[in-house]
Structure 1
Amino acid sequence: MAVSFLPCFLILCLFPTISFTHTESGMIGVNYGRIANNLPSPKNVVSLLKSQGINRIKIYDTDKKVLTALANTGIKVIVALPNELLSSASSNQSFADHWIQTNVASHFPATEIEAIAVGNEVFVDPKNTTPYLVPAMKNIHTSLVKRNLDKAIKISSPVALSALANSYPPSSGSFKPELIEPVIKPMLDLLQRTSSYLMVNAYPFFAYSANADKISLDYALFQENVGNIDSGTGLKYNSLFNAQLDAVYAAMSAVGFNDVKVMVTETGWPSVGDENEIGASEPNAAAYNVGLVKRVLTGNGTPLRPREPLNVYLFALFNENEKPGPTSERNYGLFYPNEGKVYDVPFTARSAFPVNGKGDEVPVVSSTSTFPVNGKGDEVPVSTWCVSNGEMARDRLQAALDYACGEGGADCRPIQPGATCYHPETLEAHASYAFNSYYQKNARRVGTCYFGGAAHVVTQPPRFGKCEFPTGQ
């Protein structure tokens, strides 16, 4: 494998010090649900959002107090037309006009409303509101056009993954046949014509919890894993999240819509669950959300759409004590109602990734031979290794490998042709060996397993053929 030496700054400074909630690579927002009787006031919530660097939220209505509190804050918001109003909005243009004027136009532009979610997971609404969805979306869009707001404010509708008839392997993704002609095609056509995007609610937790005997927890939590190969495309998947998204892309392609983008309007992992909710725990929730944030900041999309940035809204801002259903439903929050963190998720690129490799910042997962086990800072000593991010773009991964073997001073002799670790002859395996050499050489110091997001720390010894990875040099 050819090694060309690149300057350090090309590797260590790929991510500037900016809020991670909106980057060139993608963006992260947070859902602000309010089904609770103990939440802070909207004014205090705005202060919390600003203190954490969160500049995008999604709400489930058009509450006047919330929208007023958001005015002139620079925080962008997605608002929603609830399912119970779909029938009126679909059958009466004047109703849609009045709703837009009262709930959207009267707040805009002081409150930066950037999209309207028309309904939420309508296909599984027990009140059978599906027939009203597309007509309501069209009328709401017409109302925006009348007020010259259609370019600034997009419309869409969050779709649950249950709208898919098949999702595995991702290349075989397809929508349920009974939805395609009545609603999927006309909805995607509208989104295409208005340059909008399909909103998708994706929860790897549900798939894992129901199939824990078949799905690796590491695969669901963005941890190091062997991955899965899609037999239809030959693409490798190292995360369930990416596989779910690509199943949606494949389903859209199957009905003739290849150019509609996807925004993940809900995804998360519960910190507490019932006994039968396998995988619900604080460390797992922290691992999922931190892993997802890092995934967005790598600057890559999914294996099927590698150049499409990931745009994601985490669920949710707070634990909500009045939500019905299993215990998990009340425990998706990043924060407790008293504004304390349930676990730590970084909300700036600086806190998500150290930028100087010298340990001045604390990374998402500590590289100091400790690993948080409960999301609260309690740690137990473990051996750690540094491996490559298998979903990083190849050019970035190659550049990071070149630096490690060049200026970084890693011992790359074992991955030269004919040497002990040359096989498997893959970029991912060679990069992992070089990154770990650099990491161990620098005493596993914080920031030395970074390489512009191309590497991360693991607590299990890497397995690449018969090659043994050292734990110290």
Structure 2
Amino acid sequence: MLCLIQAQGMASQAFSLLFLLLSAIAVSDAGSIGINYGRVANNLPSPDKVVELLKAQGLTKVKLYDTDATVLTALGNSGINVVVALANELLASAAADQSFADNWVQSNIAKFYPATKIEAIAVGNEVFVDPNNTTNYLVPAMKNVHASLVKFNLDSNIKISSPIALSALQNSYPSSSGSFKPDLVEPVIKPMLDFLKQTGSYVMVNAYPFFAYTDNSDKISLDYALFNENSGVVDPGNGLKYYSLFDAQIDAVFAAMSALKYGDIKMVVSETGWPSKGDANEIGASQANAASYNGNLVRRVLSGNGTPLRPQDPLNVYLFALFNENQKSGPTSEKNYGLFYPNEQKVYNIPLTQEDLKSGQPTPVNVNTSQPPVSSEVSKTSVGQTWCVANANAGEKKLQAALDYACGEGGADCSPIQPDATCYNPNTLVAHASYAFNSYYQKNTRGTGTCDFGGAAYVVSQPPKYGNCEFPTGY
């Protein structure tokens, strides 16, 4: 999950609400939303329960990272379309030995199909950045697996592709200058695209605006990264105007494909998401931002609109990921991309289907049960002012962690609660946290989901009072 795309500075001013207006309308040729079901964790529900969860959420497309028999069996007769994966460590064998590919397809695909609606096989994952240097095996493995599908009469129903990271691009800004790295073009990119074209398949792309933003937060507007209102940026190469970093990233790949004369190949976004928690240096990783990105993205996809470069092609996207995964390596963010906790409780609430949009489900709205209920009278859309205060029942550890975040990465104005400052007294954790939480809440225009902090805060309709401290009502 790498993204090296660069972008120029953008101001977060008012911009056209066209895609938000269109997203409220059910369109017959709307794009599709699926979800990545990763299992690098020791506390996840059983596959049977996961299938029940997917069905309860109206999700009809799931992408796996292997061909686990228990999972594929649970998905049988569920009506859920499935993408499975041939792991990177099997590429060399699949490339070198047709009989290996035949046996793999027989044991992992034909055995479960059609009860399990396998619609595609991801041969490898981000192979070009695999530290084991498996790039040269990719296309031969794809061809052998496809030949195996032909033997089992499955090639007309199951596509072959391979997810690529945006790090495969040499140039990505502006989008119109998108190009692949020269050392990849002849050995693997062109042969792979040629194979996809011949077999009627599509390219899979893993796109993460989060990485571009966190690495370039001084140049990239957070609103631009989250699909929020912004003034947009014009691509000087083609004159198209972009209102989201996601669109710019996708069109950079389209431009790179077109430069190689493969502009007619379709695309599926095989991974994209935003972490709800991160390390101190992972700027922008927060529950509120994750809910905004994923919620706005779903609306964007279900609107039926394509990108500025391909406006007529609906987007098909797999969100990353279904669960937080506690055994993933790397920074804290890697463990916190999930829409759900392992106990199946939502990390935040976003629409996932057209039915959700029709019902007017908001985005983002946190549903953590430890948060005191918020009535309609104190929502952002109600008449009158609201404030955010600390939940004393959340516990000292959670309050302190949330306070540290609000005053640090969250950007709250915490100077009034420093020693000898106007709101230092009363010198209690609840009082200081309340001030910091409210500062963050007001700074973010009282947006839904910005007064939660994992259940450590909640909204009130009366101005808080701690000593002689006055709580601000806006910035």
- TM-score for both structures, normalised by structure 1: 0.73
In structure 1, give the amino acid aligned to 2:136: P
Aligned partners of 2:374, 2:86: CA distance in 1, in Å?
43
> Residue 105 of structure 1 aligns with which residue?
110
> Residue 262 of structure 2 aligns with which residue?
257
Q: Does 1:193 align with 2:198?
A: yes
Report 1:63-82 matches (<5 A). Answer: 63-82=68-87
How many residue pairs get matched? 358
> Residue 322 of structure 1 aligns with which residue?
327
Residues 67 and 85, structure 2, Cα contact 8 Å, conserved in 1 = yes
Q: Does 1:267 align with 2:272?
A: yes
Aligned partners of 1:89, 1:12: CA distance in 2, in Å?
43
Structure 1 residues 140, 363: CA separation in 2 closer, same or farther (over 3 Å shift)?
same
In structure 1, give the amino acid aligned to 2:124: G
Aligned partners of 2:366, 2:280: CA distance in 1, in Å?
20
Q: Does 1:362 align with 2:360?
A: yes
In structure 1, give the amino acid aligned to 2:203: L
Q: Secondary structure at the match of 1:279?
A: coil
> Residue 26 of structure 2 aligns with which residue?
15
Aligned partners of 1:11, 1:59: CA distance in 2, in Å?
31
Aligned partners of 1:374, 1:329: CA distance in 2, in Å?
22
Residues 283 and 374, structure 1, Cα contact 8 Å, conserved in 2 = no
Aligned partners of 2:266, 2:148: CA distance in 1, in Å?
23
> Residue 401 of structure 1 aligns with which residue?
none
Shift of 1:70: 0.4
Residues 197 and 263, structure 1, Cα contact 8 Å, conserved in 2 = yes
Structure 1 residues 13, 158: CA separation in 2 closer, same or farther (over 3 Å shift)?
closer
> Residue 343 of structure 1 aligns with which residue?
348
Q: Does 1:138 align with 2:138?
A: no
Residues 185 and 255, structure 1, Cα contact 8 Å, conserved in 2 = yes
Shift of 1:306: 0.2
**Aligned partner of 1:148 among 136, 144, 153:** 153
Structure 1 residues 98, 307: CA separation in 2 closer, same or farther (over 3 Å shift)?
same
Aligned partners of 1:13, 1:218: CA distance in 2, in Å?
20
Q: Secondary structure at the match of 1:145?
A: helix
Q: Secondary structure at the match of 1:115?
A: strand
In structure 2, give the amino acid aligned to 1:255: L
Q: Secondary structure at the match of 1:269?
A: coil
Structure 1 residues 305, 11: CA separation in 2 closer, same or farther (over 3 Å shift)?
closer
Q: Secondary structure at the match of 1:256?
A: coil
- TM-score for both structures, normalised by structure 2: 0.73
> Residue 276 of structure 1 aligns with which residue?
281
Percent of pairs with identical residues: 67
Shift of 1:383: 7.3
Shift of 1:147: 1.1
Q: Does 1:33 align with 2:31?
A: no
Residues 29 and 56, structure 1, Cα contact 8 Å, conserved in 2 = yes
Q: Does 1:45 align with 2:50?
A: yes
Q: Does 1:299 align with 2:304?
A: yes
In structure 1, give the amino acid aligned to 2:184: L
In structure 2, give the amino acid aligned to 1:84: E
Structure 1 residues 138, 315: CA separation in 2 closer, same or farther (over 3 Å shift)?
same
Residues 372 and 378, structure 1, Cα contact 8 Å, conserved in 2 = no
Q: Secondary structure at the match of 1:316?
A: coil
**Aligned partner of 1:229 among 215, 234, 249:** 234
Shift of 1:364: 2.6
Aligned partners of 2:380, 2:72: CA distance in 1, in Å?
47
Aligned partners of 1:373, 1:77: CA distance in 2, in Å?
29
In structure 1, give the amino acid aligned to 2:291: A
Q: Secondary structure at the match of 1:253?
A: helix
In structure 2, give the amino acid aligned to 1:73: S
1:128-152 deviation digits (Å, cap 9, x = unpaired): 0000000000000000011111110
1:214-247 deviation digits (Å, cap 9, x = unpaired): 0000000010000010000100000000000000
Residues 95 and 138, structure 2, Cα contact 8 Å, conserved in 1 = yes
RMSD: 2.1
Structure 1 residues 139, 37: CA separation in 2 closer, same or farther (over 3 Å shift)?
same
Structure 1 residues 13, 188: CA separation in 2 closer, same or farther (over 3 Å shift)?
closer
Gaps of 5+ in 1: 1-9, 17-22, 355-360, 366-370, 385-473
